[in-house]
């Protein structure tokens, strides 16, 4: 079954962004594209792609060569299999895209795929070409629209083993208290002021005040840091408060006191920087 579709970005970025300026005269600081051989700035029309094979050898690659790659996924989204959604590790899920039927001819096969996915407990795993390489992506349904989520390949996921702490022992009572805290904080949705972007709102107020030449919003003084609390003791206190608020027995388990040991300096793990690229508008493909 072939379904002509358009790929439409499913997310929007509402972050407040800044430009760089020269502090002395507020002149705009720009990044210019410069040719180091001719010692001059070049226009976008003069710029192409290339793969650096060695220090002295560059392999030029044209846009036409990329478009003509002999891949079934170069011009289509191929469904490879159907799997349970829970079998896909969430850390592999990246950007999301809506798949829009491309014209009336695609309406019936598109609706058929929507109905089949909606009635199944599985998602369709597809393969497609995007941003210079093939990717896998699950197809699922949201509000009667097919959603494609980009998936990272296993070699793009860092091994978390290096981040693990030293082995520790936990008692069943400690685990039960942690589960009780989770139960007391469980809710059905993510609605409410605690789930809103207060940083962007505060930053917008600063920009508005500076634009109107008004005093900046007052900042409340942060509370002085208190003594470092034992994590399990704080956990017990939270569980007790949650139970008391529900009129339940607020008794909690007595936790064994831990022996204090000389702390060792933690090893720093260099975080890899990644660059996020925005998807460009609409792109006709087939599913």
**Per-residue model confidence as pLDDT tens digits over 143-183:** 899 988 888 888 888 888 888 888 889 889 888 888 887 78
Structure tokens at 211: 């634009």
Cα dist from 205 to 9, 19, 209, 213, 216, whole Å: 29, 18, 6, 12, 8
**Euclidean distance between CA atoms 95 and 147, whole angstroms:** 10
pLDDT tens readout for residues 36-71? 889 999 998 899 888 888 888 888 888 777 666 656
235 contact partners, CB below 8 Å, separation of at least 6: 174, 177, 178, 181
pTM of the model: 0.51
Structure tokens at 93: 């899920």
Highest mean predicted confidence (pLDDT) among 146-155, 185-194, 257-266, 278-287: 146-155
- Return the SS3 of 61: strand
**Euclidean distance between CA atoms 87 and 258, whole angstroms:** 38
- Residue-range domains of the chain with CATH: 4-10+72-159+282-286 (2.40.290.10)
């Amino acid at each position: 079954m072939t379904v002509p579709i358009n790929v439409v970005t499913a997310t929007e970025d509402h972050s407040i962004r800044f430009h760089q300026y020269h502090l002395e005269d507020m002149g705009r600081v720009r990044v210019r594209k410069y040719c180091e051989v001719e010692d001059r700035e070049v226009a976008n029309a003069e710029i192409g792609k290339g793969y650096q094979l060695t220090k002295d050898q560059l392999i030029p690659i044209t846009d036409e060569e990329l478009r003509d790659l002999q891949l079934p996924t170069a011009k289509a989204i191929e469904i490879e299999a159907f799997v349970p959604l829970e079998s896909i590790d969430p850390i592999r899920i990246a950007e999301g895209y809506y798949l829009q039927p491309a014209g009336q001819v695609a309406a019936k096969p598109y609706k058929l795929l929507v109905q089949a996915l909606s009635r199944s407990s599985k998602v369709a795993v597809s393969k497609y070409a995007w941003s210079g390489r093939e990717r896998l992506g699950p197809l699922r349904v949201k509000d009667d629209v097919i959603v494609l989520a980009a998936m990272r390949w296993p070699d793009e996921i860092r091994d978390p083993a290096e981040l693990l702490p030293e082995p520790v022992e936990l008692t069943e009572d400690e685990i039960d208290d942690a589960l009780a805290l989770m139960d007391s904080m469980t809710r059905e949705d993510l609605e409410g002021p605690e789930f809103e972007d207060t940083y962007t709102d505060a930053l917008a107020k600063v920009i508005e005040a500076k634009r109107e030449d008004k005093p900046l919003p007052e900042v409340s003084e942060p509370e002085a840091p208190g003594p470092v609390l034992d994590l399990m003791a704080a956990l017990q206190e939270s569980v007790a408060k949650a139970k008391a608020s529900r009129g339940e027995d607020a008794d909690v388990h007595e936790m064994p006191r831990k022996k204090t040991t000389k702390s060792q300096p933690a090893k720093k793990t260099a975080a890899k920087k990644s660059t996020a690229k925005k998807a460009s508008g609409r792109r006709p493909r087939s599913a």
